[in-house]
Structure 1
């Protein structure tokens, strides 16, 4: 029997905000996956769509991706519920096993995985496929939280911090080999976010981050100037720097960014209306239901809709920070900080690349972009946050 105090201590604000984002996600994915060719095959035309009211547009919407995303959400809710039910304190007994499973899973991708869009990231299980690197993000948060919590008060020097870099560096390297630069960068964000919280010298962690960032920028500059070797494919490098001047390669690496800017820039305050975004509907905007879903949102709902949407994420992240602050122990605090770092970084990069202020790394917008592995991982992460919040006081059950 479920204890009534179980629900009494549930963070309903976090649940409500998550629900609103998920509903918004289903609508926008349906809109993003609808194309003019599909309408033509139905014998309809764009004038009829423009004259229809919102309810009619939603009923006419192409629903293939929406249905798949809906089932991913259902699976994610079930996984989150299971995560909430098991006290997070118990997980510490299995972190070593989880770390090994993580390495095996990422290693299996290099052997058994299939290549899609130039990267070997997916493993097929029957008719279904999953992306291990998505689940790896959450596993590294849990295992690193235990790793750092056991060293609480000992992370004062670079020598004491080096093992933390090695701990994260091994799975990060396996992901970088796939290659999956975006997820590798998420690992870096998780590491520094959690280290900043765990270390008694946060200024030192900030300095290390700044030095690392300066080193990367210097290495890229040296490669462009003198041809120095860097551990990136040319297409990855082009995607990293093209946002600085997308018009230098209009039909190549800059095409995505340019079309995204046109979509967002033409939206106005109110937007063009649901299913009326021309860049999306006429298929000028590529990979619009995943990487550039925010561009579709901004074009159709305008400045007002995009702002309200980002405010929802703002409330979500605020609750995550508050849960980290109220946790009864360092293990819970570090897991919450890791989740907030992961989601914050992905939001900043995804929205940033849509408006051409961040590199195009292929990171999905959490809880919003189409993708089963990403959705289930983020839902489990929410389950972790709810678990920590519900058990923020000792002996609450």
Structure 2
């Protein structure tokens, strides 16, 4: 009698129809709704015009949606094998930025490749998630909790953080660091290591202060005392608070935001797009948008719980943590709860590389559900 793979306990091959059924179409619908909010907000920020932001945002989302679906149907073993090459590629791009990147708004964060302007730090966020998921996929729970096995992941996280800080881009560096730490936590790293790291970070604050740029120091001081320089370093956050407060419960109405229309609100199409939206749609609109993001997070946790392989579970949790950090840091920043560090609101803020990286990451997460019962080799 021939022994089949099914009799050995291997899951049967998943057909194309079953793969299509396993795609989280509800999640894709929610992502589309969030991107639609972005188009509305950018249309309003431009004074009721599709140019220069809203039309490009819609086109980018359409192309990114195709990318998401392509990524979702790729077997996780492919991403398992490509994790390190993608990570090394992202580091090379970050080095290229530091050597010959485009300078804008006092920072060197972009590479100009023909007609495209790429921000490699956004790519690095996803690459770190892939490498850490691959690494911990090859460890037992006991090994993951040992300090010795934490050294390599720390290097993986801190290498792009250091390169991003050189640009300088404190917000993205913070995102990579916190996102990596979140993945270490769910992978099984012991709590005492996080406490030790936190104590060490507090002890290094005086040293870090000396290495910070002057504008970064001003942002921190303005966060601690918003009224110390209302027309200088505190101008951004002061105008943002005025716009959010003036929106009230139901907002001023579509295309009726004054802070944005009269250009009192800086970076209204990127970092402060949430403020632009809330001024016109009020607290109700803000709650609806945050509810959409919450659905994305809930779906991410659900996908992680259903995955039968550790690699997919860690990818889903890593992408979920990344989305949470995006939303939390951006919204807290524009409300004055955190210093202004330049983190976009995913799928709402204007920006091509950020959208592509977020949709690529969501494609990885949906792919985990499509291949949730796949058998993957152990590799580090």
Q: TM-score, normalised by structure 2?
A: 0.90
Are 1:245 and 2:225 an aligned pair?
yes
1:32 to 45, 49, 68: 45
CA distance, structure 2, for counterparts of residue 98 and residue 266 of structure 1: 45
1:177/1:327 CA distance change after superposition, 3 Å: same
Are 1:392 and 2:372 an aligned pair?
yes
Contact kept, 8 Å, 1:175 with 1:183, in 2: the verdict is yes
What SS class does the counterpart of residue 74 from structure 1 fall into?
Answer: helix
Are 1:78 and 2:66 an aligned pair?
yes
Q: Partner residue of 2:12?
A: none
1:208/1:61 CA distance change after superposition, 3 Å: same
2:157 to 168, 186, 191: 168
Q: Partner residue of 1:341?
A: 321
CA distance, structure 2, for counterparts of residue 172 and residue 6 of structure 1: 36
Unpaired runs of 5+ residues, structure 2, are 1-14, 376-380
Written as runs of structure 1 = structure 2, the 5 A alignment for 1:142-161 is: 142-153=130-141, 154-161=143-150
Contact kept, 8 Å, 2:175 with 2:322, in 1: the verdict is yes
1:194 to 183, 188, 191: 183
1:187/1:208 CA distance change after superposition, 3 Å: farther
In the TM superposition, residue 12 of structure 1 has moved relative to its aligned partner by 2.2
Contact kept, 8 Å, 1:247 with 1:254, in 2: the verdict is yes
1:229/1:7 CA distance change after superposition, 3 Å: closer
In the TM superposition, residue 160 of structure 1 has moved relative to its aligned partner by 2.7
Q: Partner residue of 2:291?
A: 311
Are 1:22 and 2:35 an aligned pair?
yes
CA distance, structure 2, for counterparts of residue 206 and residue 282 of structure 1: 46
1:212/1:24 CA distance change after superposition, 3 Å: farther
2:362 to 382, 390, 395: 382
Contact kept, 8 Å, 1:192 with 1:205, in 2: the verdict is no
Contact kept, 8 Å, 1:293 with 1:369, in 2: the verdict is yes
In the TM superposition, residue 213 of structure 1 has moved relative to its aligned partner by 5.0
Contact kept, 8 Å, 2:309 with 2:374, in 1: the verdict is no
For 1:281-321, what per-residue CA distance to the aligned partner results, in whole angstroms no more than 9, with x for missing partners?
Answer: 11100101100011011110011111111111111111111
Number of residue equivalences: 360
1:82/1:25 CA distance change after superposition, 3 Å: same
For 1:58-107, what per-residue CA distance to the aligned partner results, in whole angstroms no more than 9, with x for missing partners?
Answer: xx534321111122112211221221121112221222222221211111
1:363/1:200 CA distance change after superposition, 3 Å: closer
